[in-house]
Every structure is written in structure tokens, then in C-alpha cells.
Amino acid sequence: MAPIIFFWGDNRADDPVPGNFLKLISSGFKETSSDTFKVKQLENGFATNSVAELWFDALNIATKQDWCLLEAEFKVRWPKEVIVPPTVEQRRSRLRAEKLLKEDIGVMVTANGVEMTGQARWASKILALSALAEDPTGASIHSVRDGMPDIMKKLVKGTFGTWAAFCTAVKAVSDDEIDNAIAEEKRISAVEDESKRLRAQLQAQQSPTAPLRTAFGGFNINRPRPPAAPLLSEAQFFQSGTMSANNIMSGFQPTQGATPVPTPPSAPTQRAPMFRANHLRHADLSTNTKDMVHYPDTPEGQIAHQAQVLTWKTANPHKYKGGDEYAPYPLTPGTLSVGVGECHTCGLRHPMGTPHLRANIDPFETNYHRIAGHIIRTSRNNPPAVPKPANVQYVAASPEYFAYLSHYEEEQGNGDGPAV
């Protein structure tokens, strides 16, 4: 029987592996086949004017008449490739690198002559690679699962102790579940695109209050009192500012050319930090959460919560750490409310130092729990103090007059003159 392909022997891309070609030729032999027949079958398998045919023509007659000698010469000329077996870590890396493509999910393919879904073919390959990776406990399952598309991560739920259980769960995902998940993903994507479009329109429009916000941008009712004017001598006091124009004692004061008295340098003005009382922050938190819905831990509640999170992130693109009293972050279904002694990592209450009762919540939500809990706790422990009335000593005074009074001591009577 003539071979289906010819052997060239020059390592070209479409040339068969030498060992496979020799096995293909040998598979056509019978127990009664003579050496002459075997040698002729091998010769017929070489391509015309190929390196292999030229090698065969150069052999001696004795080798061409003995199949065992010819087979040994063939293996010497084209020896088997020496392959270094991969290490266990390399096989595990190969396992983690095998990714399920989103476009293969739900698509019917043929593998090993069997029609199956794309995710089922991927699961079969993962199961084979896991056996080579020597991971009987399934320690790398979470890494492989995290590498799946978001749709499959939502549909393949639970924990798995073996690779067989994990791959069976992947194959068990039905077409209806995939279609529903894809439809929900498209709906959320449409909401996100619409939110981006609306935000772009709002940014393109000039707000009518923009000039006012610009004008009052640096206004602060907590601005610190300016430093007191430096102390002035009597000469400086009567010859400076508005006092010099109508001063009846100007003829008895030192002249303008006199050596001025040095004044101490003024201290640099420091801007006071912004501060809001916690009871005011608590009031804002209560106002902004009164219409906020905390959904139950149901499939419908999970879907509604995902829409809440998407809406929040669209409306608050600059809050890169999480929610606060102005923009409360949506709470995960099944978790506790803020400020009730809940764990900021899992959203449930448990003794400190013990394991969490559920998977970690969103870092944005964790930050919101911390801020809201601090506001509620400090507002309850430190209620606002009732302000006391303050006595008003004066309404207004010029800095020069205030500086003069601070060092001038008036003497009553006639001073050192004779007694009346």
C-alpha cells in the first residue's frame, strides 16, 4: 500500500516526523512480507530527488537487501528528538494559562469526533492538563476560575474540591442560563452607555451658576483672623495712615527724616483646615440614604444591586476610594447596615479575629462602611455643644489705633507737675 504522504528528510514545515513515517511504512507489512518488499515500500515513500531518496541511493547493496540493517540506518540518519520533560511548575503554569474565550461560550464545536459546547471542550482540556500538573487537591482551581469570562464566573457557583467536580460544573451550564446571562450583560452595558452619553451632555452644557461658583470658590467662613498689626511708636502712629492728615501735634513730633523704629516681621498667614461637625455629616448621611434600597440576597436582588453599583460609579467618577455621606455606596444583598458593629470586610457581624462569614465585599463598599460608621459613632458619642453668648467689646477699630492702644498707657492728672 502506497503511503499517503511522501518523506523529504530536509526538515521542511510539511514534512512528517521521521519516526512517524517509519511507523506508517511498517504498518503496511505482514508477517510473511519479505525484506525485499519492505525495502521497496520504504523506497517508494521517499519523494523524488529528495534528501531521503539521495540518501537511500547512496547505501550499499547489503543494507538495501536486509530490512533490519536498513531500519537501523534510517534511525541513525534521522534520530528521535530528545525532549526535556517539563517540570511540575511548568505544567501548572500551562494549566493556568489555558483560557476560556468569551466567543466560545455556548458555541457548538467538534472535538475528538464528538459535538459539544465550547466551554465543555475547554473543561475537557483543563481536566487533562490538571492530571499532568499533579494537583489532586485542586489548589489551582480558584486561579483558573478567576481567568474565566465574567459570564461563566457568575454561572459556575460554589466551591470545588477536585478538578473533576469543577469541570463537571462547567459542562453542566445550560444554553438557557448562558442566553439569560448574555442578555443581562447587554442590558447593563446599554445602561452604562446611556449614562456615559447623558454625562457627556451635561458636561457640554454650561451651568448658569458657573460664574457664581467661580467667584465664591475661595470663600471660607472659617478663614482665620489676620495677624495683629505691628506695634507702632508714637511718632509712627501720628504720622501714618489717616491720623497724619489732621494731627494737631504734628509740629511736636519727630520729622519724617528721622530714623524709623524697626518693626518686627509679621508672621505668615496660615489657612485654617476645613472642618465639619460630625452631627452635620450625620444629618447629610441620613438625608442621602432615606431613599436608598438595600436589596435581599436573592437572584433578583443581586441583579438590582449590580445596577445600583453601575449607576453609582457612573454618577461618581471621581470618588476613586468609595462612598461617603454625600454619595452612599450601595450595600451588598444579605449584609448588615452601616454603623451597627458590622465587619467592614465581609459586611456581617462576627467576633474580631474569627474567619469572615462570607466573601469580601467591594473595596468601595468597605471604605463606605468605615466612613459612615465613624460618622455615626462620633456623632452619638459627641453631641453638638450649645454655644454660649459672648460679650461684644467693640464693633470696629483700625489696625493703627488698635496697635497704639496696645502699648500706650495714659496717665491721669497733671503727672509730675506741682500739686494743685
Distance in angstroms (rounded) separating the CA atoms of residues 259 and 256: 8
Are 377 and 282 in a shared domain?
Answer: yes
In 3D, which of 197, 160, 236 has the Cα closest to residue 314?
A: 197
In eight-state DSSP terms, residue 392 is: -
C-alpha cell at 231: 506695634
Pick from 77, 97, 112: which residue ends a domain?
77
What percentage of the chain has pLDDT greater than the value 90? Answer: 35
User: Phi and psi of 86, rounded to 5°?
Assistant: -65, 150
Question: What is the structure's pLDDT at 413?
Answer: 47
Question: What is the structure's pLDDT at 134?
Answer: 87
| 63 within a domain of the structure (yes/no) | yes
| 198 within a domain of the structure (yes/no) | no
Looking at the DSSP bridge assignments, the partners of residue 117 are 108
Q: How many DSSP H helices and E strands does the chain contain?
A: 17, 2
Distance in angstroms (rounded) separating the CA atoms of residues 289 and 339: 13
> Which helix (H) or strand (E) covers residue 110, if one does?
strand 108-111
- pLDDT at residue 135 is higher than 60: yes
Are 33 and 99 in a shared domain?
Answer: no
C-alpha cell at 75: 534511525
Are 305 and 327 in a shared domain?
Answer: yes
| 221 within a domain of the structure (yes/no) | no
Are 36 and 102 in a shared domain?
Answer: no
| 163 within a domain of the structure (yes/no) | yes
Mean pLDDT over each residue of the chain, to the nearest integer: 80
Q: Domains in the chain: how many in total?
A: 3
Q: With contact defined as beta carbons under 8 Å apart, do 188 and 306 qualify? A: yes
- pLDDT at residue 23 is higher than 70: yes
Distance in angstroms (rounded) separating the CA atoms of residues 355 and 132: 34
Three-state DSSP at 115 gives strand
Three-state DSSP at 117 gives strand
Average pLDDT rounded to a whole number, residues 365-377: 87
**pLDDT band for position 22 (50/70/90)?**
very high
Lowest mean pLDDT among 80-94, 160-174, 273-287: 273-287
Return the sign of the alpha-carbon dihedral for residues 409, 413, 414, 419: negative
pLDDT in tens, 106-127: 889 988 888 999 999 999 999 9
Are 295 and 372 in a shared domain?
Answer: yes
**pLDDT band for position 335 (50/70/90)?**
very high
| 398 within a domain of the structure (yes/no) | no
pLDDT in tens, 306-330: 999 899 888 888 776 777 888 898 9
> Which helix (H) or strand (E) covers residue 108, if one does?
strand 108-111
pTM for the structure as a whole:
0.38
Are 327 and 350 in a shared domain?
Answer: yes
In eight-state DSSP terms, residue 102 is: G
| 151 within a domain of the structure (yes/no) | yes
- pLDDT at residue 264 is higher than 60: no
Are 297 and 374 in a shared domain?
Answer: yes
Determine the structural domain holding residue 327 and report its residue range.
Answer: 278-381
Are 134 and 167 in a shared domain?
Answer: yes
Question: What is the structure's pLDDT at 231?
Answer: 55
| 365 within a domain of the structure (yes/no) | yes
Are 131 and 157 in a shared domain?
Answer: yes
Question: What is the structure's pLDDT at 201?
Answer: 78
Question: What is the structure's pLDDT at 326?
Answer: 85
Helices (H), 113-242: 118-132, 141-146, 150-155, 163-171, 175-204, 210-215, 234-238
pLDDT in tens, 66-78: 999 999 999 999 9
| 61 within a domain of the structure (yes/no) | yes
